[in-house]
Structure 1
Amino acid sequence: MITPPDQASARPASPASRQLLAVAAAIVAMTALRLIYASAIDLRTDEAYYWTWSKEGALSFLDHPPVIAWFIRFGTAIFGDTNLGVRFAGIVAMLVTQLLLADIVRRVTHDVRAVALVLLMPEAALYYGLLMAKVSPDVALIPFAVAMIWALVRLTESNDARWWLAAGVFAGLALSSKFTAGMLLPAAAAFMLVPKWRGRWLASPYPWLAALIAVVVFLPVLIWNYQHDWASFRFQLVRATATHELSLRTVGDYIGLQFGLVGFILLPVVLSGVALTAWRGYRRGDAVAILLSTAVIVPFGYFFWKSLSLRVGDTWPMFMWPAGFAATAINIAMLPRDGFPAWMIQSTIAWAKVAVASGVVFVIAVFLYYVVAPWNFIGRADPIGGEAGYEQVVERAQAQLQKTGATWIATTDYRTYAMLRWFFKDRVPVVQINERGRFEGFRDPGMNAIRGHAGLYVGREPDNTSPVWRSTTAIREPLERVERSWRGIVMDTYALEKLTGWTPELSPPRDSPLYRPRVLAGGDQPPALFLTASIQTSFSGKLGNLHRLLIAGFS
């Protein structure tokens, strides 16, 4: 018998539907939070640097492949050259990542609670719940890496070999976002070779076609590097092969960053979920479990090894944790099916709930600290505030341009270059006179306004005393010093000088001191660990005590 429409509409929603509606409401609220953050917070220097890439027509760039520039171009095409325009694609990338994770978990478990959990875990992790609004190559890498995993899950479910081709497209886009995508290759290889279907795929043309497709998608990066003496690969190889003495401090930084950016409770929950998923996958030949667990274990182990002697960058490992979120949600759904004791199942679920709830609270607290609070709890080490306040430098630079008649601006570091170009929006030519290897393939910055005209040098102290000036014939006339501050704390001091008698060389010889880029193995940015440690201390509570204990254990 067909239920009348009025009775059908009056039927109460199922618990599963109510749960998904609640999760959807939470995602909408957190997305609104990210939109506010993206609009209100000034760009960081690297974000402005990537924005300059979006204004160029180069196939690739020295530091990273080009997809992040495409992301920024997409956002600024909608919202213009604004904070939100630069960051908008990252907010979209977060939503795409969540949808892909939800579909992966749904197809494997058919459990609404597991789907709800995997949707909420990224919201509870500081990097994803808030800092996906901070644009970086990792923001582009993450959705494509998850999409590659999703395509392989679809392959497992449907047994349709054509999904290899989709995986190849996404793998190529992931590599075109950031070279660390290559760390997913062991996971894809294990997915293909460990289960009993290895013979089928070794004999099938589809995996090899997928590899070929990935190379074709990655071809612009290869072409650019071929044209520029493989500059990107040599630049990144220095970081990958850099070795220093054993340091427990860098190990502590790495582990502490994972706790801070993933979650003080969520990280142990995810690691335990990944471990059980790996046990299940390799013991039974479960292809999806092998794929998800290996996509976390291999990068995590590699970065841990590198952290023994090198500071691992804040965002470098962030592409691996979404696979860990999926593995954790699937593991919780599988525990009852695998016959685990009830106490273990209940404990795992309880810890997952605590991890999500406490993580979301922490993300909101960090949001309020940066968007609402007037205080600076962290001082000069603040990873956001430490790069704020450039409008003060720009204001004085503008005044000196008018006073001295200078028509262009020179810098000696890419961060100052990027921020000045961002604020002036190319109304005034800005040139970084050194590290010209960073600017291969860039357009003319406006040499007609530079050649034969006085310039204004803006340099962070002590960069203004760099020996690179000995490679020029510039006459430098000191003008003034400008402090850049944030919430009452001076972050940096800048020297402003008038330049005459010299025109910068945009394409110096490769053996010139003006060409060679400075390689920062591990970067010289203050680690986000300072952020997480200080904010947790300021907001106190048990999580703050836990974090201090963790840091003490690794220092």
Structure 2
Amino acid sequence: MLDKTAGPAFRIDGDVAVVAAVAALTIFRLLAMAHIGLVPDEAYYWLWSKAPSAGYYDHPPMIAWWIWLSTKIAGEGAFGVRLFPVLSIAVTSWATYMTAIELFGDRAIARTAAIWVNAMFLIGLEHVFATPDAPSTMFWALTTLALSRLRRTGYAPIWLVVGLLAGAGCVSKYTNLFLGLGILAWLALDPAARRFRFDPWVFLGGAVAFLTFLPVLVWNAFHHWVSFEKQFGRIGHGAAGNSHTAEFLAGQIGLINPVLAVLASVTVWTYLRRRPLFARSPQTFLIALNAPLCLYMIVQSLHDRVHPNWTAPLYPAMAILASLAATDGLSSTWLVRVSRWATPIGIGLTSLILAAYATPLGRNVPLRSPADNVLGWRGLYRGLDDMRHRNAAQWIATTDYGLTAELAFQAKGEVPIIQIVDRQRYTFENPDPSVLDKTGLLVVSAAEEERFDRYKQCFGASSPVETIHREAGDRQIELYFVVTVSRAPADLLSTGCGL
């Protein structure tokens, strides 16, 4: 693993510096995220973790398994929920470093790529949260590493490792199914992969991937394919001709890190222009492996909005391609100079944002921002709990999965929190039916004001309306309507409130 073209001290110092930087970032992120409240989706996945399963309504189960294990290790707070996602960034950084070594044998490219993974805004600001993107990206990067080792060594049994890692990626997020298409594209386009095209080990690796993913398939089969229908039902939706491509590309440039996006594009453009010269190059491997997902997202953006995080698994490869442009003479001198700012800006800005919101300073910002999603939940629950005791209510009824999850995370089982619509989300729960015979507290966001009266009509009786705010410091973030309700329908827990 040592670069024989450089002196030992330089090699060791360079690698140690990268390890130290990633370790320091990991420790900082763990400390910061321990003091930032959960976003609604995280609280929702925490709810999943209370009933481990092979599948759920929205996603495959890996993030729930992670949270189940990490909260057993580190407790039920934000630190415990986010432990594995934050650590996964370090694993992804290592996988990116090793992939670059396998492909190019150049430690300068590898070190730069590992650091630049952490300088990408989406990684630094989204993968620190407990969402399916963290395991999805990590397993994609690890699968890429295994394939790069396979490409270099030709050791066919590595296909079994590839299958296991690729299958685990699909258990993390269905997006990782595109990696299977990428592997087929690599086998077809890279002359270095010719020897594997009809190798029995390829099919054995595919069998391992299928067996790893099989529990998710079985769960879906027993639940009317609800998870597949929800995720794959997005394909082809949207108005024809309603292009969001410019929005998608601009968003990706910003989230990758504009400098790194340009550098990666330079490498791809150079490769496409000179493909006959580069046919056997490692660029063929990286581009072919990641092209199916990238092309699908571009096509999807032609008629529907693409969520910016959907491309996250591509980012480690982009870091390598960007590093190649900066260190292998593919970019102009001025762009190489500008690239020196990618790390301090990317890592510095994301770290500053996390540090701010981990302190009272960030929690008291007087402006609305996406960070409002993590603020005010504890105070809201305390206020609702006071109202519940005052009205002798025994449970809290909600109409939104985010509110349901946030209140459940704060309640920690002290009081049942039950969503009265979209009951298909909660097949993993087994609430006590006797709760329906008791007085409850219905909480509805003012954003659903038009449906509020219909929600009340689901119950036989309700009290006059009260209001409560979710607040950050002196700022009111969101208004909620609250009523005491009773005489719930007997089928509320199974079919929900019919509107």
- Answer yes or no: is 1:74 the counterpart of 2:79: no
1:360 paired to 2:347: yes
Q: Could you tell me how far apart the structure 2 residues matched to 1:388 and 1:116 are?
A: 37
Aligned mates of 1:331, 1:378 — CA distance in 2 = 42
The yes-or-no answer on 1:236 pairing with 2:231 is: yes
* Partners of 2:182 and 2:291 within 8 A in 1: no
Asked if 1:371 corresponds to 2:358, the answer is yes
Relative to structure 1, the CA distance from residue 478 to residue 309 in structure 2 (aligned partners, 3 Å threshold; closer, same or farther) is: farther
For residues 177 and 245 of structure 1, the distance between their equivalents in structure 2, rounded to whole angstroms, comes to: 31
Q: Which amino acid aligns with 1:177?
A: S
Q: What is the DSSP-based 3-state SS (H/G/I as helix, E as strand, rest coil) of the residue aligned with 2:220? A: helix
AA paired with 1:161?
A
Aligned to 1:328: 322
2:407 is the counterpart of 1:412: no
Q: Secondary structure at the match of 1:384?
A: helix
Query: Which residue in 2 is equivalent to 1:446?
Result: 432
- 1:478 is aligned, of 457, 464, 488, to 464
Kindly report which structure 2 residues correspond to 1:140-289, keeping only aligned pairs within 5 A, or say none. Answer: 140-196=135-191, 200-244=195-239, 246-247=241-242, 250-277=244-271, 283-286=277-280, 288-289=282-283
Q: 1:456 is matched with which residue? A: 441
Give the distance between the partners of 2:275 and 2:77, measured in 1 at CA. 46
Indicate conservation of the 8 Å contact 2:60/2:173, yes or no.
yes
Partner amino acid for 2:84? Answer: A
Partner SS state of residue 436, structure 2: coil
CA–CA separation in structure 1 for the residues paired with 2:193 and 2:389: 70
Question: What per-residue deviation string (whole Å, max 9, x for no partner) do you get for residues 20-51 of structure 1?
Answer: 23223322322222112211110000000010
Letter of the 2:479 counterpart: T
Contact (CA 8 Å) 1:108, 1:330: kept in 2 or not?
no
Q: 1:436 matched to which residue of 2?
A: 423
AA matched with 1:443:
E
Per-residue CA shift, 1:367-409, capped at 9, x if unaligned?
A: 34423434777833x2222442122221121101211111111
Matches within 5 A, 1:521-532: none
Q: Deviations over 1:452-479 (max 9, x none)?
A: 2111111111425427537734322234
Q: Unaligned regions of 5+ residues in structure 1, if any? A: 1-11, 516-555
Aligned amino acid, residue 316 of structure 1:
W
Measured in 2, the distance between the counterparts of 1:198 and 1:40 equals 47
C-alpha displacement at 1:52, in angstroms? 0.4
- Distance (whole Å) between structure 2 residues aligned to residue 79 and residue 219 of structure 1: 30
CA distance in 2, matches of 1:19, 1:346: 23
Residue 300 of structure 1 corresponds to 294
CA drift of 1:195 comes to 2.8
Looking at structure 2, the residues matched to 287 and 163 of structure 1 have their Cα atoms a distance apart, in angstroms, of: 21
Preserved contact between residue 269 and residue 328 of structure 1 (Cα < 8 Å): yes
The match for 1:385 is 372
Which whole-Å deviations, capped at 9, do the CAs of 1:229-250 have from their partners, x for residues lacking one?
Answer: 11111111222221125446x4
Deviation at 1:143, TM superposition (A): 0.8
Q: Aligned pair in 2 of structure 1 residues 500, 78: CA closer, same or farther (>3 Å)?
A: same
Distance 1:362 1:374, change over 3 A: closer
Matched, 1:133 2:128: yes
Does 1:403 find its partner at 2:387?
no
Hey, what's the Cα distance between the residues in 2 that align with 1:202 and 1:123? 35
Give, in whole Å, the separation in 1 of the partners of 2:413 and 2:148: 46
Q: 1: CA distance between counterparts of 2:299 and 2:394?
A: 49
**In the alignment, what sits opposite 2:101?**
106
- Name stretches of at least 5 consecutive residues in structure 2 with no aligned partner: 1-6
Note the C-alpha offset of 1:148: 1.0
- SS of equivalent residue, structure 1 residue 40: coil
Q: 1:478 to 1:305 in 2, by over 3 A?
A: farther
Q: TM-score, normalised by structure 1?
A: 0.82
Note closer, same or farther for the CA distance 1:97–1:281 as it changes in structure 2 (3 Å cut). Answer: farther
Count of residue pairs brought into register by the alignment: 491
Paired position in structure 2 for 1:521: none
Q: What residue is the counterpart of 1:532 in the other structure? A: none
Q: 1:375 to 1:424 in 2, by over 3 A?
A: closer
Q: Whole-Å Cα distance in 1 between the matches of residues 454 and 226 of structure 2?
A: 21
Q: TM-score, normalised by structure 2?
A: 0.91
Q: Alpha carbons of 1:308 and 1:379: their partners in 2 closer, same or farther (altered >3 Å)?
A: farther
- Is the CA contact 1:105–1:329 (under 8 Å) kept in the aligned structure 2? no
What is the CA RMSD across the aligned residues, in angstroms?
Answer: 2.6
